[in-house]
Chains A and B, each alone.
Chain A
Amino acid sequence: MRADRFPYAMLALGFPLLLWGSYWGLFLAPGETYMGDVQRIMYVHVPTAWNAMLALTFAFACAVLFLLRGDPAWDARLEGALEVGVTLSGLLCLQGAIWAKPTWGVWWDWDPRLTTTAVMVFAFGGILALRQFVDDPVKRATWSAVAAVIAYVDVPIVYFSVKWWNSLHQTQSSPETVSRAFHWPLRINAVGMLFLMTGLISLRARLAALRRDEELAPPGPR
């Protein structure tokens, strides 16, 4: 397979899986005892949450590897992972607000899980903004890698916030706490979102690498 086709192959796997899992979750899976049909939002909300955190964890790994090795390829991957992670985290907040209204009665609450998630979106979104204002590619890569390592401190806090503090948000789901009837649509969407996230990070990283090459290329003849 040509290297260029890898991200598109991932997207071609991810979108149909998401469609299949969503169809199962919307029309075939039973409603939940207390939340009824509103619980069907779980099949898209939970995979988005897992993959947003995974994308930002990959961003952290890219940042550390860039700082250790100085290879610009890790900076391009960092940019890709940051943008995809922030997009998924923003989507996560929107899905959560839509689920919160019928279950909690409000669109938003400054609860520990929601607050730490909002901090995560703004911290990593801020790094993307920072990258726009630094012209020197080496400084931009170094500063954003350091900022990504610092911002990543919030990611485990988001994950454990529901255990550490009293929260409106439920605790993490596991196969033991989710009814078997809900497993398959959740798993299919999680795998679909994983393929989608991988394809998008890969494509966005290639774009970042091309832009960097253009920045560093010597001026050509008129």
Chain B
Amino acid sequence: MGAASGVISGGWGFVWAAYGVSAVILIGYAVSVHARYRAQRRRRGEVKP
């Protein structure tokens, strides 16, 4: 990082970390809601096991 000049250089690791965390949480949460919804419908016999 070029802190002395007041300009940040590099930092791609932080960018990938932010996008990676976002992808994992958003996809993971969507899969979790879908799985819980399917499981609940299965309990009611609305979908085949």
Using CB atoms and an 8 Å cutoff, list the residues of chain A in contact with chain B. 11, 15, 18, 22, 26, 33-38, 40-41, 44-45, 48, 87, 90-91, 94-95, 98-99, 101-103, 196, 199-200, 203-204, 206-207, 210-211, 213-214
Contacts and interface: CB of A to CB of B under 8 A. Distances in A.
Binding site secondary structure of chain A: helix
Nearest to B41: A210
Given A101-B14, A210-B44, 7 more contacts: A34-B6, A35-B8, A45-B18, A95-B22, A98-B14, A204-B33, A207-B37
A199 B9 CA distance: 38
Contacts of A48: 22
Chain B interface residue bracket vs A:
20 to 34
B22 A103 contact: no
A207 B21 contact: no
B48 interface: no
Contact of B15 (A33, A38, A94): A38
Contact of A36 (B9, B25, B40): B9
Given A91-B25, A102-B1, A36 B30 contact: no
20 contacts: A11-B30, A18-B26, A22-B19, A26-B19, A33-B7, A34-B7, A34-B8, A36-B11, A37-B12, A37-B15, A38-B14, A40-B15, A87-B29, A94-B25, A101-B14, A102-B1, A203-B37, A207-B36, A210-B40, A210-B41
Given A196-B26, A206-B37, A37 B11 contact: yes
Contacts of B12: 37
B14 A36 contact: no
Contacts of B8: 34-36, 38, 102-103
Nearest to A217: B44
A90 B28 CA distance: 14
A94 B11 contact: no
Given A36-B11, A210-B41, A200 B19 contact: no
Contacts of B4: none
Contacts of B21: 91, 94-95, 98
Contacts of A200: 29-30, 33
Contacts of A207: 33, 36-37, 40
A207 B26 CA distance: 18
4 closest Cβ contacts across the A-B interface? Answer: A38-B11, A41-B18, A98-B18, A210-B40
